[in-house]
Amino acid sequence: MECGGRAESNEGKYRHFKTSFQRVCERTGCCKRLEPVLQQLLEKYPKEVKLVHKFLPGHDFTWKAATAAMAADEQGKFWEYHDQLFENQKLLNEAKLIEIAESLKLNTEKFRKKMKDPAITRLIQRDFDDAKKLDITATPWVYINGRHVTDNSFQNLVNVIEKELKR
């Protein structure tokens, strides 16, 4: 979770809590274990916490998975696609990316076209470059209001958020 101060939202009531830079991590599953904690935080703080995803793709296929998630976002299905990437992380390949799109009832023609959009590549590259500037080398990586938080347990994150909300 990276947090970058106040952010405008639909209601202007949110503090800006961004997720760790994440990638589909086949080796450890650490990102997948953090997901339920993030969901609990969003449920506990529905008007105070905003979750923003950043990518830190590693090997070539994680770039494709990140691109696919952004292509799904063009049809309003980023988080649904994101969740399916985590559910299927050990099965990911080109065909699986399309299968996920189809299962979410995306327009696959538009989806395939967006997968080739250089603007999406630039967005993912910007996230990657930002992570490098911050010396982020692994995922998940959590920040709250500019402070790196290494204990990603629910209770610790609640404590940090509560402290920040009192500021």
Categorize the per-residue pLDDT at 29 as very low, low, confident or very high, splitting at 50, 70 and 90: low
Long-range contacts of 57-64 (CB under 8 A, 24+ apart): 57/23, 57/124, 57/128, 58/23, 58/25, 61/92, 61/93, 62/23, 62/24, 63/124, 64/94, 64/97, 64/115
**Mean pLDDT for the stretch of residues 68-96:** 90
Are 64 and 51 a contacting pair, CB within 8 Å?
no
For the stretch 40-61, pLDDT in tens is 998 998 888 877 778 877 766 8
Give yes or no for residue 88 having a pLDDT over 60.
Answer: yes
Report the alpha-carbon distance of residue 167 to residue 104 in Å, rounded: 41
For the stretch 100-147, pLDDT in tens is 999 999 999 999 999 999 999 999 999 888 888 888 877 777 878 778
